[in-house]
Amino acid sequence: MKKDIIAVFAVILLFAVLISGTEFQSVDEYYLTHADDIKSGDKTVFVSIDCADIMSNYEKLDKSLAASGFVPQDGIILAKTEYVLREGDTAFDLLLRVTRYNKIHMEYQGADKTAFGSVYVRGINHIYEFSCGTGSGWRYKVNGEYPDVGASKYVLSDGDTVEWVYTCDTEGGK
């Protein structure tokens, strides 16, 4: 009987460990993000989110996504906007802040769950990897070039332009 109690206790402990590593937020709490007002002398970066590549591959687009109206006609989910750069911000930190501020849906896989040790953005605005063909997914450009590292490893500097682009053909984009 003593061993039974220990077994039950072990299960509870395991459950507690799983729960304690998880952060729960209500919807309002999550979207209540403040993007700093731009003052003179602040370091800033430009961010845009773009899925125009879907328009040229529209026949490959997931039917239910096409019907949902989440793919804008011009492909612009977020027009190029200036945001304050906080100290040590990575490209992903900024994306997270911007999508929260603008109430754009975004799903990512944590850095601990991917093989390359950086977060992986699975979907923005309900447009997911593989939503438009087998080679489709989100990528990011900084100052017009694709960096060699994951978004949560790329530390931004003053005046950078970050473009999140959806590609329907990963091979062609390289």
| Whether the Cβ atoms of residue 73 and residue 122 lie closer than 8 Å to each other | no
Residue number with CB closer to other proteins (18 or 144) = 18
The residue from 68, 134, 143, 157 that contacts other proteins (CB under 8 A) is: 68
Integer Cα distance of 136 and 170 in angstroms: 6
The residue from 43, 60, 126, 141 that contacts other proteins (CB under 8 A) is: 126
Smallest distance from the beta carbon of 162 to other proteins, in angstroms?
A: 19
CA distances from 90 to 93, 97, 119, 150, 153 (A): 5, 11, 11, 10, 6
**Binding flag, residue 65, other proteins (CB under 8 A):** yes
Number of residues that bind other proteins (CB under 8 A): 29
Smallest distance from the beta carbon of 123 to other proteins, in angstroms?
A: 6
Provide CB contacts within 8 A for 168, sequence distance 6+: 53, 54, 56, 57, 60, 132, 133, 135, 136
The residue from 38, 79, 105, 146 that contacts other proteins (CB under 8 A) is: 105
Residue number with CB closer to other proteins (1 or 17) = 1
Q: Which listed range, 50-58, 107-115, 137-145, 155-163, lies at the site for other proteins (CB under 8 A)?
A: 107-115
Integer Cα distance of 83 and 37 in angstroms: 8
Residue number with CB closer to other proteins (16 or 38) = 16
The residue from 64, 73, 115, 145 that contacts other proteins (CB under 8 A) is: 64
CA distances from 66 to 26, 53, 60, 72 (A): 29, 14, 10, 10
**Single-letter residue type at 87:** E
